[in-house]
Chains A and B, each alone.
Chain A
Amino acid sequence: MKSFRIILIGSSAGGLQAIMQILPELSKEYPIPIILVQHRAKEPKDLLEEVLQHKTKLKVKQADEKEKILPGHIYVAPPDYHLLIEQNETFSLSSDEPVQYSRPSIDVLFESAASVYGASLLAIILTGANQDGTQGLKAIKSKNGYTISQNPKEATFQLMPESAIASNTIDKVLNLNEIKQFLINLSNHV
C-alpha cells in the first residue's frame, strides 16, 4: 500500500454531489489533508463550504494564503483565486487569468503540488464538462504521483474524467463508491 501525504480533488459540473458521496465516512482523525478545487461562480452567497461541512466530520475551510496545510481538514479553493502550494507546504493564492475559463483552476493546483509532494501525492479527478485537470495530472505523473479518475460512465459530466483518461495520466479508474473505499483504506495504512 502506498502512503500519501496529500490528497487533491478536482471537480466541476456535478462535483458537489460526487464529493458528498466520497467524504461522509472519513473520520475526524483522517490523517491526510484533503484539498478541493471545485469550479465555482464568484457569488457572494456561495455556500459550498457550509454544504460540505454538513456532510463530513473533517473541518471544512476555505484555504487562506500562507496557511499551513494540516491533517483533519478539507481545504477548499476560494472563488475567483487560483490556489497553489509552496515548497514549505503552505498555501498561496493568485488572481492570474482564468485557466480553461476557470479560476480557481484544477491545473494550477495540481501543477504546483506536483513539485512539492512528488510520489506522496494522490490526485482524484471527478465529473466535469471541461478539460481542466488534464495538464495538472501530466505534471503529477511526471513526478510519480498517483492518480485516480472517476469512471466516466458513472460521472454526471464525462468530459473532464474522459480527457484525463485519454491523456494517459490516470493510474486507476473507479466508481465513487470505490473511491470512497480507497480513501478509507488509506487511513488504515498510515
Chain B
Amino acid sequence: MAAWLGWVIESNWTDPFLFAVYSIVKPISGAAILVVMYGIVTQGNFDSALFPYIYLGNAFYIYVGAVMTGVSWAVVDDREHYKTLKYMYIAPIYIPLYLLGRGVARFITGSIAVFITLAAGILFLNVKINFAEVDWLLFFVTLILGVVMLALLGLLLAGITLTVARHEGFIGEATAGALYIFSGAVFPLDVLPEWIRPVGYFMPTTYWLELLRRSLVGNVAQAFPTLANFSNLEILGILLGLSLFFGAVSIWVFKVCDARARELGLIDRTTNY
C-alpha cells in the first residue's frame, strides 16, 4: 500500500518518458562507460576476475542510488516540489514508514535497471555467471536485507536533509558517491591506503556487495583477498549486525532531526530552486 502510493508518486514526473530515461537508461549508460574504461585500462582483458567483480559491484550499486538516495530525495521532493510534506507531517502517520515506502517503490524501478544491466553484461559483455552454481537463497536473503539496510540509511540522510537549509539534494548524491569508493563497488578495498580502509570495513554496503558477488559467482569473488578469510555466513552476520546498528542510528537521527526541524520551522520551508 505505502509502496504503491510511493510508486505512483515516484513516477509522478511531468513526463513519464523522462522518468524511464532517468531511472533506467542512466544507470545502464553508467555501466557502459565503466566497461569502456575498463577495456581501455586493461587493454581488453575481460577474462580477468576483476571484470565481473567490477561489473557486478557497479550493477548492484544502482540500488544505492535508487533506494538510499531516493528515500532522502523524497523529503526534498515533497517539501519543495509537491509542497505536500507539511500535510504528510500533520497526518497521523509515522513519517519514517512513509519514507521507507517510497524506498520500496524505488527498489522496484531500481530492480528493472539492475536486471537490464546484468542481462546486458551476460549477453554482450562476457560476464560469466554459471546459473547452476548460483546460491539463490543467499542471493535473495542478501538482496532483501541490503535493500532494507539502504532504505534505513536513506532515512538517516532524510533526517539530515530535513534540517539542512541548502544543497539538500546534494546530501544523498554525495553520500552515494562516497560509499561507491569505500564499499569496494568497483575496486577491492585493498587498493585504498591502509589508514582509510576501516571506513570501508564499517560500511554495511561493503559486505552486502561482497555477498551478492559471492552468491552469483562464488570463486571469482574469492580471488580478492579483502574478505577472503570470512565465510559467507560470517559476512551475512556482519551485514546483519551493521544493518541493525545503522538502522537504530538512522531512526534515532531521524527523530532528533525531526525535533530540530520543528524547532527551526523547516518542515514547510522552500528554497527557490
Q: Do A and B belong to a common assembly?
A: no
